[in-house]
Structure 1
Amino acid sequence: MADDSHEDDLERLKSALWYAVGQIVDEFCMSRNRNATPQFIGALTELVWTQIENVAIDLESFSNHAGRTTVTTDDVLLLARKNPDLQTIMGEFVETRKAMSASTKGKQRAKK
């Protein structure tokens, strides 16, 4: 029974991904006066789904290797290690968010 629920969740996620990919492809095609077949959108969706599964497995492995049960930004940055430009952008984003968070916490403490 729980397995059926899991399968249903996966199907709903895959359907949502298919819809999102279809919307992106349609927008791109309309801006370039092109057409894409439903088969193309389906194949692209399968490709993206496979990549998401691979990323999820890698993130879980990194987290487990570090002895954690939760994926952290360090795991995501480690995943991006083979794309230095992406890793730099993501690292800067993480640092900015940490600084904003620290600033907000400092303001909240000052009010107390």
Structure 2
Amino acid sequence: MADASGEDVQERLKSALWFAIGKMVDDESLRRNMNATPQFIGALTELVWTQIENVAIDLETFSQHAGRTTVTTDDVLLLARRNSDLQSVIKDCVDHLKAAKVKEKTRSGKQK
């Protein structure tokens, strides 16, 4: 029974991905005055789904190797290690979020 509900969730996620990709492809097709077939959207969805599964497996593996049960930003940065531009963007975002968190803690500590 757990497998059936897990498969149901997976199918719903895949349908949502198909819808989102279809919307993006349609928007870009209209912008470029071109047309994309449903088969193209389906193939692109399968490609993206496979990439998501691979990324999820890699992140989970990195986390487990570090002895954690939760994926952290360190795992994401490790995943992006072969794409220096992407890693730089992610690192900047993480640094910005950490700085905002510290600033918020400092502000809330002064209000007490």
Shorter-normalised TM range: over 0.9
The one-character-per-residue Cα deviations of 1:28-57 (angstroms, maximum 9, x if unpaired) are 000000000000000000000000000000
**Is 1:17 aligned to residue 17 of structure 2?**
yes
**Is 1:41 aligned to residue 41 of structure 2?**
yes
- Name the CA distance, whole Å, in 1 between partners of 2:2 and 2:58: 25
TM-score, L = length of structure 1:
0.99
Corresponding residue SS for 1:35: coil
- Name the CA distance, whole Å, in 2 between partners of 1:45 and 1:36: 13
- Name the CA distance, whole Å, in 2 between partners of 1:2 and 1:61: 23
- State the match for 1:55 in structure 2: 55
> Over the residues paired in the alignment, what is the CA RMSD in angstroms?
0.3
Letter in structure 1 aligned against 2:106: G
- State the match for 1:73 in structure 2: 73
- Name the CA distance, whole Å, in 1 between partners of 2:20 and 2:54: 19
Where structure 2 has 5 or more consecutive residues not aligned to the other structure, the ranges are none
Corresponding residue SS for 1:107: helix
Corresponding residue SS for 2:61: helix
Corresponding residue SS for 1:60: helix
Quote how far apart the aligned CAs of 1:3 are. Answer: 0.7
Quote how far apart the aligned CAs of 1:65 are. Answer: 0.2
- Name the CA distance, whole Å, in 2 between partners of 1:77 and 1:23: 29
Number of residue pairs matched?
A: 112
Letter in structure 1 aligned against 2:95: E
Letter in structure 1 aligned against 2:102: A
